[in-house]
Structure 1
Amino acid sequence: MDPIEMNQSELVERLLSITREIEQAASLADWPEAARLTELRSPLLMSVSADQEPAALDMIRRIQAIDATLLADAETTQNELHIEFEAAIGRTKAAGEYQRMARLQAG
């Protein structure tokens, strides 16, 4: 639905729905889908006005809380992946050194 055609309440409801879809994709580690949904959500976020009903403000706070949790989880995942990557590089170097030493002893 075009954000121009939505009233602010419908817009915020749609944003919360998309945010929950992003949360679901992230929980499944489906990062391409989470990124796609984030791109879909971005123009809608830009359409939110500052003047909101109390119910819409509550939904916006939920969106912000979900986003904060997702960001923290993404940072944790990124750090874990970095650690795994460094460990894999270390194992690769060790295997290469082992093979180099084996060739020296055979030769």
Structure 2
Amino acid sequence: MNQTTLIERLLSLTHAIQDAAALADWPEAARLTEERSPLLVSLSADQDPAALEMIRLIQAIDASVLANAQTTQVELQAEYRAAITRANAAGQYQQVAQF
């Protein structure tokens, strides 16, 4: 695969990762990231300006997806803590109600 085709494939996979993240389909985003990783390491250092622009776009999309993932993680942790608190409260109620 030549470098232009490789970068186009990387950009396509990056857009697919972005789409999966937007849908909160994190398992699919992770799968696509694993598919993309070996392609990233096969990039050569010598790139023409158009290729460099696509690489910068890939980097920008990656930064956006990472920010989305971090926000989602914080939200899920808060939801988990709230659910545990509710479950503990229900358990305490159940114990008191038995007496």
Give the TM-score range, shorter chain.
Answer: over 0.9
Who is 2:67 aligned against? Answer: 72
Of stretches 71-80 and 31-40 in structure 1, the one that deviates more from structure 2 is: 31-40
Helix, strand or coil for the counterpart of 1:91? helix
> Which of the residues 51, 55, 59 maps onto 2:50?
55
Moved over 4 A (4+): none
| Structure with greater Cα Rg | 1
Who is 1:85 aligned against? Answer: 80
Counterparts of 2:26 and 2:78 in 1: how far apart (Å)? 19
> What TM-score results when the alignment is normalised by the length of structure 1?
0.90
Percent of aligned positions that are identical: 68
> What TM-score results when the alignment is normalised by the length of structure 2?
0.97
Counterparts of 1:13 and 1:88 in 2: how far apart (Å)? 43
Who is 1:30 aligned against? Answer: 25
Unaligned residue ranges in structure 1 (runs of 5+)? 1-5
- 1:30 Cα offset (Å): 1.3
After superposition, the CA RMSD in angstroms is 0.7
Counterparts of 1:35 and 1:98 in 2: how far apart (Å)? 40
Unaligned residue ranges in structure 2 (runs of 5+)? none
Equivalent pairs, count: 99
